[in-house]
Amino acid sequence: MIPWLIFALVAVPLAIVAFVAARRRTAAGEHPASNDPQANELTEQEVADAEAYEAKWHEQDKESYREERLP
């Protein structure tokens, strides 16, 4: 019984603290500190380019699917 009590009072809080610290570190790394308008514009342009490429690829894929002969 005593080992379980020690485990509950020591290991579990340490695991919770480590998890919270890791989440904070990850969240801080995902969101840059500066809000540079030029960087935001570049990101938006890259997203628009990617979406345009995806739409083009999707149309080409539809065309090749139509041309494909199914048994």
Q: Same domain for 42 and 71?
A: yes
- Of the given ranges (1-5, 11-15, 42-46), which has the lowest mean pLDDT? 1-5
Does residue 2 have a pLDDT over 70? yes
Higher pLDDT, 62 or 28: 62
Residues 14 and 43 in one domain: no
Query: Do 40 and 27 share a structural domain?
Result: no
| 64 and 44 assigned to the same domain | yes
C-alpha separations of 16 from 24, 25, 26, 28, 41 in Å: 12, 14, 15, 18, 39
Domain count across the chain:
2
Question: What pLDDT was estimated at residue 65?
Answer: 78
Token pair in block for residue 68: 């494909």
Say whether both 20 and 43 belong to one domain. no
What's the predicted TM-score (pTM) here?
A: 0.45
**In this predicted model, what pLDDT tens digit does every residue of 22-59 receive, in sequence order?**
888 776 666 665 678 888 899 899 999 999 999 999 99
| Same domain, residue pair 48 and 64 | yes
Whether residues 40 and 27 fall in one domain: no
Domain that holds residue 58: 36-71
